[in-house]
Amino acid sequence: MADFPMLQQQDFASNSERLLDYAQLCNVFYERELKLLAQCELSPTQLAKKLTSLPFYIKRAAEAVLSLENPLTLDAQNGTWSAKQKRKSPADKISPSTNQTWLQKNAKIGLILPVAVKDIGQVHYRLDCIDVIEADKVRLNEHGWFNFLGESLESNSVEKKLLKASKEIMVSACCGHQWIGNDITFPRTLSLRELLLTTVVNWPNLSKPMQLTH
C-alpha cells in the first residue's frame, strides 16, 4: 500500500471493490507496457528512462480511469473500455465536406480527435490531440499533419484520415473497435498513451477540449 497516494488511500480504503479494480488495472497496465517495451529497440539509457516514468503514468491512468463518468463500461480485469459495436464503421457516414466544415469551426489546441487507420482492409480509430493549427491544416501530436478534409499530409505506410469527433466514433476509438470490410472483428488493445487520452475526452461537448493534465 506504500505506493498509493495518500488521498487515493483514503478514498479507496472505504471501497474495497474500487481498491481491487485499482490493483487489477495497475497490474494489467504493467504487463501490457512491459511487453511493448520488450518489443522496442531502445538503447539502455532510453529503456531506463521509460521504466523510471512507467509507475507514474500507470498509477495516473488507473486513477483517472476509475474516476471517470462516461458512456463506456470499464473492464478492470483487462484494462479496457467496452460498448456495443456498430455493424459498420461510423466514419462511413462522414463526407469530406462535412469533415471540413466541422474542423474549420471546431479545431482547437488540445482537442481530442479520432484518426481512422486502414491497413489491408482493416479499419480502426486512434485517438490523438491537436498541437498546432494553421490556416487550412492541423498537426496532431502523434499522427502529424492533416488538412481540414481529413487527408493526411504525411508519408504513411497505411491510410489515415482525420475525422470530426462524433459520439459514435469516439466510443469506437476508446473501445478499440475494428472492422474488416463490412464485418466486425476483435477489438484492439489501446496503448497507455491512448488510454490516457480517453480520460480527457469531453463527452458533454466533444468540440471543446478539456485541460490535458498528463
What's the pLDDT at 211? 61
Q: What does the pLDDT look like over 84-124, one tens digit per residue?
A: 999 999 998 899 999 999 999 999 999 999 999 999 889 99
Confidence grade of residue 14 (pLDDT, cut at 50, 70, 90): low
Cβ pair 112, 200 in contact under 8 A: yes
Question: Residue 117: in which H helix or E strand, if any?
Answer: strand 112-119
Q: Torsion-angle region of residue 196: left (phi > 0), alpha (psi -120 to 50) or beta?
A: alpha
Tell me the whole-structure pTM to 2 decimals: 0.85
CA atoms within 13 A on the CB side of 146: 29
Percent of the chain that is helix, strand, coil (3-state, to 5): 40, 20, 35
